[in-house]
Amino acid sequence: MSRTTTDLLYLVTIVTFILALRFLSRPDKARLGNWIGAAGMLLAIAVTFAQNEIVSYWQIALGMLIGGGFGAVAARRVKMTAMPQMVALFNGVGGGAAALVSWAEFHNRVGAPGNLKVDIGVAIMLSALIGAVSFAGSMVAFAKLQELIQGRPITYPGQQVVNALVLGGALAAGIAIAAGGEEQWLMWVLLACASIFGVLFVLPIGGADMPVVISLLNAFTGLAAAATGFELENNVLIVSGMLVGASGTLLTLMMSRAMNRSIANVLFGAFGQVTPSAAASAEGDGGTVRAANAEDVAVMLAYAHKVSFVPGYGLAVAQAQHDVRQLADLLEEKGVEVSYAIHPVAGRMPGHMNVLLAEANVPYPQLKEMDEANPEFGRTNVVLVVGANDVVNPDARTNEGSPIYGMPILNVDQAETVVVLKRSMNPGFAGIENPLFYNPKTVMLFGDAKESITKLIENVKGV
């Protein structure tokens, strides 16, 4: 197949990807869009197979079988609640692939002196660096979300200095390659330092900030893929990679804006380190916590006019989304107006709660975004907080010492009564005290979210 035909067919692939993203703005067309994108990907793979320079068909096919088989099985078997870590994992392997492509390309080119032009060198450096950071960072994010390592921020003295040194090492090796260095060890140093940096950079980031980190790493892999396009002089790689890079960057900005924090603060602030003043304020409140039982809460719910659910990561952990919907249905049958208030950064990836509730068949008009939900709380009788913590923490409005000060929150304390479903009084994932629990309007329903909701269902039926 001639280069012209190949490039034209790659253009078709680019168009399918753009259509896929466009269709994603409409819930009814989104799935079709995803299929169109997948078809475009198949076309790109077929076109690449048909290129003259490709010789080892069977070996490539074998690699695809192994990788694709793993991807298909993992993606089919995973529970909806484990989606964030799956996205992190698939993102990481993409980044790893980009880094490896540049390593191979570097290895291929350095044989003949003068073969490594500056622009190719820069592209190799960028995709190796960004790809390796994305790979290692995503693996740590995966491990944190899968709870293989602790989700809380991991910090130690001199962390920023160590990070800077490691990144500096990677950059130095990368610049040497871009400047025409043709030593193999330069690439090893680059890849090793970039991977270590990826690990160190995600380790101190707390679970509550995962939506920002995952979309950032997604952007990174896109950029790395675009850079490999420059190495291989391949348009489909440049455009598709950059589309992902741009969209990931935009999503990252939207997420950090939703938390009213700069990206630098999210990435390097080691969020969740309780400052002394924040801790003092929580203790200073000295309020008592009121625990309720399921019977009391059920009566409250059944006699309310308007009930709002505020889901958080705890809902995903307990896998209680179906039970929540059952409870909501039951209340609706009793004439209660039910809605769900969704904070933009609730959960562990952008839009996490929407997916979970969609899985439980919650009709999406009932899902209210923050701007829509907040004016309603004043007219809401009961707010049921299921596994959310930081996104309803009033300290964000009032306590300047709190690490989340300034973050827009769901103002659930404006409702008549707040019921918090929680395992125990341990502070949330981010490790910050929450004065909402000590508010006289608040009652706590302790226990596993799923069990508590099941008890509520039984009791509401009996009312």
The span from the CA of 369 to the CA of 341, in Å, is: 6
Catalytic residue among 209, 285, 323, 390: 390
Q: Pull the structure tokens for residue 48.
A: 């690449």
Long-range contact list for 392-398, CB < 8 A, 24+ apart?
A: 392/310, 392/343, 392/418, 392/434, 392/436, 393/432, 393/434, 393/435, 393/436, 394/434, 394/435, 394/436, 394/439, 395/278, 395/281, 395/282, 395/432, 395/433, 395/434, 395/435
* Contact between residue 263 and residue 251 where contact means Cβ atoms under 8 Å apart: no
User: Which residues, 6 or more positions from 357, have their beta carbon under 8 angstroms from its beta carbon?
Assistant: 311, 321, 324, 325, 340, 367
Distances (CA, A) of 395 to 87, 210, 378: 32, 21, 19
**Cβ 156 to other proteins, closest distance in Å?**
31
Q: Characterize the bridge pairing of strands 367-369 and 337-342.
A: parallel
**Cβ 304 to other proteins, closest distance in Å?**
9
* SS3 track for 269-281: CCCCCCCHHHHHH
**Cβ 349 to other proteins, closest distance in Å?**
6
Determine which helix (DSSP H) or strand (DSSP E) holds 443, and give its type and residue range. Answer: strand 442-446
Handedness of CA 154, 157, 163, 166 (dihedral sign): negative
The span from the CA of 161 to the CA of 46, in Å, is: 47
Distances (CA, A) of 417 to 31, 81, 238, 329: 39, 29, 53, 20
Is 7 labeled as catalytic in the residue annotation?
no
DSSP structural state of residue 192? H
Query: Which CB atom, from 152 or from 352, has the smaller least distance to other proteins?
Result: 352
**Cβ 181 to other proteins, closest distance in Å?**
18
Residue at 283: amino acid letter: E
The span from the CA of 315 to the CA of 134, in Å, is: 28
Q: How deeply is 286 buried, as exposed, middle or buried, from its count of CB atoms within 10 A (0-12, 13-18, 19+)?
A: exposed
**Cβ 259 to other proteins, closest distance in Å?**
14
**Cβ 290 to other proteins, closest distance in Å?**
20
**Cβ 320 to other proteins, closest distance in Å?**
16
Q: Counting every residue, how long is the chain?
A: 463
**Cβ 104 to other proteins, closest distance in Å?**
4
Work out the end-to-end distance of the chain between its first and last CA atoms, rounded to an integer number of angstroms: 73
The span from the CA of 329 to the CA of 370, in Å, is: 22
Catalytic residue annotation? 390
